[in-house]
């Protein structure tokens, strides 16, 4: 059954979630979820299906992710009851310098966002290859086949993609590859439902064969990418590509009530979610009531403390992040004291949302689970593509701090720990999680939307674990976001007016936005998999 939830749904119909007996794939793209299910039905496991879905969503939502980007995968293998974390985040080129975005003594944030200097060394293909080699059962070409077909034959633009193209059309016009593929010949944007064909991307995917790393990082794709960099003043060299390696990282975990929550360590923000769940543990949240003013006030204070600690996060290869200390009972108790009894200050407002990035979730018949979040960062990444490859370049360098105190696209202020260095990975908000009870996975979630991923995944997890909502209701509930600086609480317009004014009366400065990020979830029980993707971004959950 396919779930297409209404937009801005607060109280979705019960059938907004898909139910699966054997397997479940949840993605922001219905076509991509179908690609994953196709692989599951052919006998592939959750890793095969997750990779197929990731490649397909890279075709059908090219504004959010693709082979020019990178991400994180959290994998649970049922046979060994073991968790694995894969970091295939983009990496700064070796020539990158802390002052590379300074012009005339001032930081120029736009340089990290739009254009060639925003591009990090892509990790997507290396990550996919590493996951498949370790846990997959199929070859790359078999898994890439649905994505190749979508790119070759074309697919219907989702309302979300059509909206993003329309919004970005003035920038897409300036790039020969993007305008040719995503704009009509007269320069106008396609409508939802119009067919988009990505022939060059289909050819690139085919050309990768069954050893995609060789071509992408050492062969023809690498040569084309480096030639493009040289022609456009970019920094990525043949050495950068040849040196790129995804990192297997031990997942981190923390208890919440009767559950163990697993996430990825830095440069993912998984630890922030775990820390906040730790603070809220035994908080008797159900008694407060879902989205009640006292519950939200508690959440706001906990989010604030979590984001303050996030400032210590960075690439662990460059900066020692004391993640175990941050997750220790001593620290959590301190935070709980501060969050629940402290008083907060209040500087200036800003909105922190757009809709790049893509999360997908897979549960298979053997009990394996994959939570995967991948991105090219802001919508259409660097707004540049390598036309012959059909490859859209990421602008992941914007996730570094351009200079201390300077805010990035998500109003996250730069910290020294996260400053640019050659070979370093920028801090990410991407936070796929898997939750177990008595050692067995019971739910998984992940999202998109910059720092609202952290608050969104936290709230959806609590909606399921503390308030016992089903997946569809959990993702559809109105959400808030708070990230310490700027100290304004961002609230979705669907949050009841009475709740908003109660928060204002408590002294919180609110900014109301139409929506905050997009989160997907699957609840997992024997032969009863319930999945839902966020009605805010469309997409689908397909079970079988």
Kindly list the residues in this chain that would bind ligand DON in the complex (CB under 6 A). 354-357, 375, 377, 396, 399, 428-430, 448-450, 453
Rounded CA gap, 399 and 449, in Å?
Answer: 13
Evaluate the CA torsion angle 534, 440, 247, 241 in order and state its sign: negative
Reading the block at residue 450, the tokens are 């910059």
In the complex, minimum distance from the CB of residue 306 to ligand DON, in angstroms, rounded to a whole number: 15
Count Cβ atoms below 10 Å from residue 439 Cβ, excluding itself. Answer: 7
Q: How far lies 462's CA from each of 153, 270, 448, 454, in Å?
A: 41, 15, 17, 12
**At its nearest, how many Å lie between ligand DON and the CB of residue 416?**
18
The residue annotated as part of the active site, out of 91, 204, 357, 452, is 357
Closer Cβ to ligand DON, 70 or 212, answer by number: 70
Tokens (6 digits) for 372: 């995967």
Q: Looking at beta carbons only, is 247 or 399 nearer to ligand DON?
A: 399
Q: Which is nearer to ligand DON, 400 or 508 (CB)?
A: 400
Say how far apart CA 52 and CA 46 lie, in whole Å.
10
Distance CA 206, CA 202 (A): 6
Report helix, strand or coil for 448: strand
Query: Using CB atoms within 10 A of its CB, is residue 210 exposed (0-12), middle (13-18) or buried (19+)?
Result: middle
In the bound state with ligand DON, the residue whose beta carbon lies nearer, of 31 and 354, is 354
SS (H, E, C) 242-277: HHCCCEEECCEEEEECCEEEEECCCCCCHHHHHHHH
The CA distance from 378 to 396, in Å, is 8
Q: Is 357 in the active site?
A: yes
How near is the Cβ of 232 to ligand DON at its closest, in Å?
22
Q: Which is nearer to ligand DON, 60 or 523 (CB)?
A: 60
Residue closer to ligand DON, measured from CB, 65 or 442 = 65
Instruction: Tell me the closest approach of the beta carbon of residue 418 to ligand DON, in angstroms.
Output: 11
- Dihedral class, residue 105 (left if φ above 0, else alpha if ψ from -120 to 50, else beta): left
Least gap, CB of 358 to ligand DON (angstroms): 9
Minimum Å gap between C-beta 88 and ligand DON is 12
Residues belonging to the active site: 357
């Amino acid at each position: 059954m396919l779930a297409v939830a209404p937009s801005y749904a607060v109280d979705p119909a019960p059938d907004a979630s898909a139910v699966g007996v054997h397997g479940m794939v949840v993605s922001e793209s219905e076509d991509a979820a179908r690609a994953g299910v196709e692989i599951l039905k052919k006998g592939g496991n959750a890793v095969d299906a997750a990779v197929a879905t990731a490649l397909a969503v890279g075709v059908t939502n090219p504004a959010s992710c693709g082979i020019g980007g990178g991400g994180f995968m959290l994998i649970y293998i049922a046979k060994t009851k073991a968790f694995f974390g894969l970091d295939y985040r983009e990496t700064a080129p070796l020539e990158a310098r802390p002052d590379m975005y300074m012009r005339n003594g001032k930081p120029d944030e736009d340089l990290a966002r739009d254009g060639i200097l925003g591009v990090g060394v892509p990790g997507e293909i290396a990550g996919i290859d590493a996951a498949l080699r370790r846990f997959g059962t199929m070859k790359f070409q078999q898994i890439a086949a649905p994505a190749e077909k979508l790119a070759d034959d074309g697919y219907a633009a989702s309302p979300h993609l059509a909206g993003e193209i329309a919004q970005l059309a003035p920038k897409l016009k300036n790039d020969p590859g993007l305008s040719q593929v995503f704009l009509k010949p007269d320069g106008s944007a396609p409508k939802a439902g119009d067919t988009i064909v990505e022939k060059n991307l289909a050819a690139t995917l085919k050309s990768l064969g069954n050893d995609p790393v060789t071509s992408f990082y050492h062969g023809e794709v690498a040569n084309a990418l480096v030639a493009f960099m040289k022609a456009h003043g970019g920094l990525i060299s043949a050495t950068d590509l040849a040196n790129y390696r995804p990192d297997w990282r031990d997942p981190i975990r923390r208890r919440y009530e009767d559950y163990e929550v697993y996430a990825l360590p830095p440069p993912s923000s998984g630890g922030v979610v775990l820390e906040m769940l730790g603070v809220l543990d035994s908080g008797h949240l159900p008694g407060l009531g879902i989205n009640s003013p006292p519950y939200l006030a508690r959440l706001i204070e906990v989010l604030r403390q979590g984001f303050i600690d996030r400032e210590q996060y960075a690439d662990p290869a460059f900066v020692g992040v004391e993640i175990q200390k941050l997750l220790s009972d001593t620290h959590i108790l301190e935070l709980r004291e501060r969050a629940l009894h402290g008083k907060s200050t209040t500087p200036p407002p800003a909105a922190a949302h757009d809709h790049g990035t893509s999360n997908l979730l897979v549960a298979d018949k053997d009990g394996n689970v994959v939570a995967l979040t991948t991105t090219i960062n802001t919508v259409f990444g660097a707004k540049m593509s390598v036309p012959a490859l059909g490859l859209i370049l990421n602008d992941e360098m914007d996730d570094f701090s351009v200079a201390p105190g300077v805010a990035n696209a998500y109003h996250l202020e730069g910290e020294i720990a996260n400053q640019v260095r050659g070979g370093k990975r920028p801090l990410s908000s991407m936070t796929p999680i898997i939750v177990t009870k008595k050692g067995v996975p019971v739910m998984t979630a992940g999202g998109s939307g910059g720092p609202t991923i952290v608050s969104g995944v936290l709230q959806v997890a609590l909606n399921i674990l503390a308030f016992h909502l089903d997946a569809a209701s959990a993702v559809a509930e109105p959400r808030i976001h708070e990230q310490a600086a700027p100290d304004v609480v961002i609230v979705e317009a669907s949050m009841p007016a009475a709740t908003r004014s109660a928060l204002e009366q408590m002294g919180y400065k609110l900014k109301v936005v139409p929506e905050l990020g997009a989160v997907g979830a699957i609840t997992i029980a024997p032969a009863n998999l319930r999945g839902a993707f966020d009605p805010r971004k469309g997409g689908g959950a397909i079970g079988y």
